[in-house]
């Protein structure tokens, strides 16, 4: 099997461990741009900037080595994986489905065409001036780039002035990414008030199997949408959970996701489940490490089994409640220290803490940022107990972030 991932992907180690347990040989295709390929030579080097060429390289390697599956671990690799699998005639999603799962505007259009509940939305180019902004926008609304991940650039606006401010901020982010403002769309959509959940599922020949529903107990009201705590099993009613499952399956069908992992974000608004986003990959960061199915299988094991055509089975979560906190970045600057980790780990119910941000390195808070300081993990007899453990552990941490000095200030 070939797995595709960025050089710094959190997901690779978990998939490698799962493959070792299952006896599956893995080849890692790493995003290594041409300038680095001469000095860093993984088994299979690709370049995300060239998806067509990368897909051909991956497909050629698969055909030469008898690989039976190609799996993308990150959003940015899903299109390459689907194109490569198509060339190599391996199980895959249609490339259009992979693109729709990455592009928020295309996803909205496909959901609307399918008849799934979706908020109103419009799109304008990043070059749009305040004078040319549509006059019929309702408030509150959410303004977001169509291709960035991790809630980066997602901003709520309650007034015309906030809309203009949010738009300018997103344009600055896109400019830093090197986007062509004349052709890059920015999505403006209805803000849906309500609880948000995350879903892990897996598709096999178009049939979607729900694996877990995560509650997000911290309200995500904006103006930015930083996710923090995930707990499972869900505390929502059986009826609501059934609706979440139905909407996730509808979204997969609307986008054309027929094979492989699914990560979905939904909001419960006016007693209906609304799809916020759908991705053709598993949950990000280190969040999957808390999940355990059946007799101890990890989420990554289920995904690998599905990829190579093995039966996934019932894939029921164990009865114990689990949760994770993605440690938020309180402000932008230079991370100098994080103290109190020993006290945090000693909190009853806490099973681990991992700091992933590097000290003495600039970090960005939302909406400019897209990462976290690290992760806290917990287990307990109920989701509320797990949530309390995570909050208590976080309260033990003291985070020092110094202002980032500009060259002008230094001069």
Specify the pLDDT at position 410: 44
Specify the pLDDT at position 38: 57
Spatial contact of 200 and 291, defined as CB atoms under 8 Å apart: yes
pLDDT tens track for 53-79: 999 999 999 999 999 999 999 888 999
DSSP-derived 3-state class of residue 395: helix
Spatial contact of 230 and 285, defined as CB atoms under 8 Å apart: no
Q: How far apart are CA 31 and CA 8, in angstroms?
A: 9
- Integer-rounded Cα Rg, in Å, for the chain is 21
In degrees rounded to 5, what are phi and psi of residue 144? -155, 145
What is the mean pLDDT for each group of 10 consecutive residues in the chain (411 residues)?
A: 83 93 94 64 83 95 96 92 96 93 96 95 97 95 94 97 98 96 98 97 96 97 96 97 97 96 96 95 91 91 96 86 97 97 98 96 94 96 98 98 70 45
Tell me 219's DSSP state.
Answer: -
Q: How far apart are CA 59 and CA 135, in angstroms?
A: 48
Q: How far apart are CA 190 and CA 26, in angstroms?
A: 43
What is the separation, in whole angstroms, between the first and last Cα of the chain? 54
Strand pairing category for 44-46 and 27-31: parallel
Strand pairing category for 260-269 and 333-339: unpaired
Global confidence as pTM: 0.93
Which two three-digit tokens encode residue 408? 């002008």
Number of H helices, E strands in the chain: 12, 19
Q: How far apart are CA 199 and CA 377, in angstroms?
A: 18
Specify the pLDDT at position 39: 61
237 beta partners? none
Which two three-digit tokens encode residue 183? 């052709």
DSSP-derived 3-state class of residue 324: strand
- Average per-residue pLDDT for the chain: 93
Cβ neighbors of 321 (< 8 A, separation 6 or more) are 231, 232, 233, 379, 380, 381, 382, 383, 385, 386
Q: How far apart are CA 99 and CA 80, in angstroms?
A: 10
Specify the pLDDT at position 40: 60
CA distances from 408 to 86, 363, 404, 405, 411 (A): 52, 20, 12, 8, 5
In degrees rounded to 5, what are phi and psi of residue 56? -65, -40
* Cβ count within 10 A of residue 105: 19
309, exposed or middle or buried, with CB in 10 Å at 0-12, 13-18, 19+?
exposed
Q: How far apart are CA 216 and CA 234, in angstroms?
A: 9
187, containing H or E segment:
strand 185-190
* Cβ count within 10 A of residue 13: 12
pLDDT tens track for 277-336: 999 999 988 899 999 998 789 999 999 999 999 999 888 888 799 999 999 999 999 999
Tell me 89's DSSP state.
Answer: T
Report the length, in residues, of the chain. Answer: 411
Closest CA to 318 of 202, 212, 229: 212
335, containing H or E segment:
strand 333-339
Spatial contact of 393 and 325, defined as CB atoms under 8 Å apart: yes
Place of tokens 């650039």: 153
């Amino acid at each position: 099997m070939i797995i595709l991932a960025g050089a710094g992907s959190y997901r690779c180690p978990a998939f490698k461990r799962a493959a070792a347990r299952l006896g599956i040989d893995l080849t890692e295709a790493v995003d290594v741009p041409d300038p680095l390929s001469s000095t860093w030579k993984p088994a299979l080097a690709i370049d995300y900037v060239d998806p067509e060429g990368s897909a051909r390289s991956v497909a050629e390697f698969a055909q030469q080595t008898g690989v039976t599956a190609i799996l993308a671990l990150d959003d940015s690799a899903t299109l390459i994986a689907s194109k490569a699998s198509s060339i190599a005639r391996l199980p895959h999603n249609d490339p259009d489905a992979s693109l729709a799962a990455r592009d928020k505007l295309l996803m909205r259009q496909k959901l609307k065409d399918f008849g799934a509940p979706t908020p109103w939305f419009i799109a304008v180019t990043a070059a749009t001036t305040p004078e040319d902004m549509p006059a019929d926008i309702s408030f509150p609304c959410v303004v977001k780039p169509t291709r960035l991940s991790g809630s980066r650039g997602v901003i709520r606006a309650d007034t015309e002035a906030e809309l203009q401010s949010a738009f300018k901020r997103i344009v600055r982010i896109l400019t830093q990414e090197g986007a062509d403002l004349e052709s890059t769309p920015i999505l403006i959509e209805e803000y849906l008030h309500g609880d948000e959940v995350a879903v892990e599922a897996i598709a096999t020949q178009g049939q979607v199997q729900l694996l877990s529903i995560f509650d997000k107990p911290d309200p995500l009201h904006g103006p930015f949408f930083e996710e923090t705590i995930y707990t499972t099993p869900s505390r929502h009613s059986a009826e609501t959970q059934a609706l979440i499952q139905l909407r996730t399956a509808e979204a997969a069908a609307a986008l054309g996701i027929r094979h492989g992992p699914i990560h979905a974000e939904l909001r419960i608004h006016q007693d209906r489940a609304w799809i916020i986003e759908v991705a053709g990959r598993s949950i990000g960061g280190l969040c999957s490490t808390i999940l355990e199915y059946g007799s101890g299988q990890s989420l990554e094991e289920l995904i690998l089994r599905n990829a190579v055509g093995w039966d996934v089975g019932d894939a029921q979560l164990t009865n114990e409640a689990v949760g994770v906190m993605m440690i938020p970045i309180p402000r932008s600057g230079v991370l100098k220290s994080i103290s109190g980790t020993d006290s945090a780990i000693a909190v009853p119910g806490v099973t681990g803490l991992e700091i992933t941000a590097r000290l003495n390195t600039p970090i960005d808070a939302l909406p400019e940022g897209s990462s976290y300081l690290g992760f806290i993990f917990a287990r307990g007899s109920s989701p509320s107990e797990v949530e309390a453990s995570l909050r208590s552990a976080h309260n033990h941490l003291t985070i020092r972030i110094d202002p980032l000095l500009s060259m002008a200030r230094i001069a």
